[in-house]
A and B are shown apart, each in its own frame.
Chain A
Amino acid sequence: MDKNMKMQSINLNAWFGLKQALKDVNIAIKPNAVTAIIGPSGCGKSTFIRILNRMHELIPNAKLTGQVLLDGEDIYAKDVDPVMIRRRVGMVFQKPNPFPTMSIYDNVAAGLKLTGAKKGRNLDEIVKASLERATLWDEVKDDLKKPGTSISGGQQQRLCIARAIALQPEVILMDEPCSALDPIATAKIEQLVVELKQDYTVVIVTHNMQQASRVSDFTAFMYLGSLIEFGPTRDIFESPKNPLTEKYITGEFG
């Protein structure tokens, strides 16, 4: 166990029913850095990221063995409440999923209201700060009462990021956050990801290798549930050690 790491998976194995999705994955995630997980479809990258905030266990028949450490403590220890882990490790999903019944304002405030964390705090200020942080404030400041689903897909995704930020998590997980977005919206999110690492630890899953090389400091390449190679992004893309990584990077399969 490395004390300098924000999160760490140790000998992590995961199953859906009898099908093994992860095999002995050991990844250490550095604080205030962006770690990208890349690999072809079905390689287990989404499974891995969902394990980091205990969303994995919501799927029926999902099992796992091994440890996941957050600040050195096992988040799968018996007395740990998954709800408390999810407050510290936020998540942004593949498809923008703002709450359909809530306004833009309420979407950002929802986490604070529904977790009871808003006591004695200025909701307006937090909502404004979170939207500013997600570079969405200028676009929606006059429409805060409008439904969260009324804005464009890219804006919705930044709204989801603001919603996660509002709870001031320590880690932000992003599960292919740009796969449903157009190139311009994607560029905005990528820029945002790079900015976010000042305050947060970011883990991003992507099937877009260029994206990983643009935004991340570290890259993990996964294949068929195993971690093939992990290291500084530059090394992975410029001098991969494993021939499989090289094949994937150069587009020979994937």
Chain B
Amino acid sequence: MLNSYRFRRYKNKLFFALCLACVIIAIVPLVSILVETVVRGASQINLHFLTANVLQGGIGPSIQGTLIIIGLTSAIGIPIGIFSGIYLAEYGNNKYASNIRVINNVLTQVPSIIVGMTAFGIIILYVTRTYSPFAGAVALSFMLIPIVARTTEESLKLVPNSVREASLALGVHKWRTTLNVVLPASKSGLVTGTLLGVARIAGETAPLLFTILGSSFFFQGFNAPMDALPLRIFLNSRMNTAEEQAAAWGAALILILIVLALNIIVRVASRGRNFRWTING
């Protein structure tokens, strides 16, 4: 009896040790990426580096481009994603919706390089006829929409039916019930999921290679190439001089900081806004 008890305690510890070891294996590369980026990138960062154009040794155009592309992509992708999610959650009790749901899930997994090629084949060849920030935003929207749609659907489904019924029983139309009662009740989940989606596409490189190409200069209009941080990292890391390669590390650090900032906003936005669906007393 005693032996078997000891053996079980031993197994217990072994299991814990195994989990701990795996966590360490998972964390080491993450930490090393962060440390390496900070160590190599921090020395690059100064006002000139952040504001000058690429030819002058700065990454100003890349930061500007990334902010523009995030803004444009959000403007296109978030509304379409949210309304798609509303359709799936509130009107999605049919065959079409379950097919759309499957397609949507596949879309969230599509390799980004294929998204880039598709945007090139559709938007650039037939619509803009040139490299364009608009085409880049459309490409990234292809990636953002399914993420936002799924997040929205999942958040809306967490709202109990009793809340919908309460509104409908007052003689409120379904669309107003959805917009004024259900959507606010799922706000924290919606904001969190959407911002995490934006953070995810902020670092995408392949779709931008095909659509905005990269540029040494600040924004030059919607019919011209533009720069972005992930592109700048990619392009500079393949250049010859040490200065140019060092600039890639600086750009990497700025990109990580932007993604980090989005994550912090998520934390703050979702704090304490989760409603409890229980009855008091």
Q: Which residues on A are within 8 Å of B, measured CB to CB?
A: 53, 55, 58, 60, 83-88, 90-91, 93, 95-101, 110-111, 114-115, 149-154, 156, 160, 163-164, 167, 180, 182, 185
Contacts and interface: CB of A to CB of B under 8 A. Distances in A.
Contacts of A114: 167, 170, 172, 176-177, 180-181
Contacts of A182: 281
A152 B276 CA distance: 14
Contacts of A83: 171-173
Given A101-B184, A150-B280, A156-B280, A91 B167 contact: no
Contacts of A150: 280
Contacts of B160: 97
A96 B279 contact: yes
A226 to B, nearest CB: 26
Given A55-B168, A110-B172, 16 more contacts: A55-B169, A60-B93, A83-B171, A87-B171, A88-B171, A100-B163, A100-B275, A101-B185, A110-B167, A110-B180, A110-B181, A111-B170, A111-B172, A114-B176, A163-B166, A167-B170
A95 B279 contact: yes
19 contacts: A55-B165, A55-B169, A58-B165, A58-B168, A83-B171, A83-B172, A90-B169, A93-B162, A95-B279, A97-B163, A99-B163, A99-B185, A101-B184, A110-B167, A110-B180, A114-B180, A115-B170, A115-B172, A167-B170
B5 interface: no
Nearest to B172: A114
A42 B162 CA distance: 19
Nearest to A152: B281
Nearest to B181: A99
Interface of B: 93, 160, 162-163, 165-173, 176-177, 180-181, 184-185, 187, 275-277, 279-281
Contacts of B177: 114
Nearest to B278: A149
Contacts of B281: 152-154, 182, 185
Contacts of B187: 101
Nearest to A154: B281
Nearest to B176: A114
A147 B106 CA distance: 40
A53 B279 contact: no
A78 to B, nearest CB: 19
B244 to A, nearest CB: 52
B275 A149 contact: yes
A97 B276 CA distance: 12
A156 B162 CA distance: 14
A96 B162 CA distance: 9
B278 to A, nearest CB: 9
Contacts of A152: 280-281
B169 A86 contact: yes
Contact of A99 (B93, B167, B280): B167
B275 to A, nearest CB: 4
Nearest to B169: A91
A163 B93 CA distance: 29
Contacts of B169: 53, 55, 86, 90-91, 93, 164
A84 B167 contact: no
B275 A101 contact: yes
The residue in A91, A93, A114, A154 that gathers the most chain B C-beta atoms within 10 A of its C-beta is A114
Nearest to A107: B166
Which 5 A-B pairs rank lowest in CB-CB distance, beginning with the nearest? A87-B171, A152-B281, A86-B171, A91-B169, A111-B170
Contacts of B171: 83-88, 111, 115, 167
A170 to B, nearest CB: 12
Nearest to B94: A60
The residue in B160, B165, B172 that gathers the most chain A C-beta atoms within 10 A of its C-beta is B172
Contacts of A185: 281
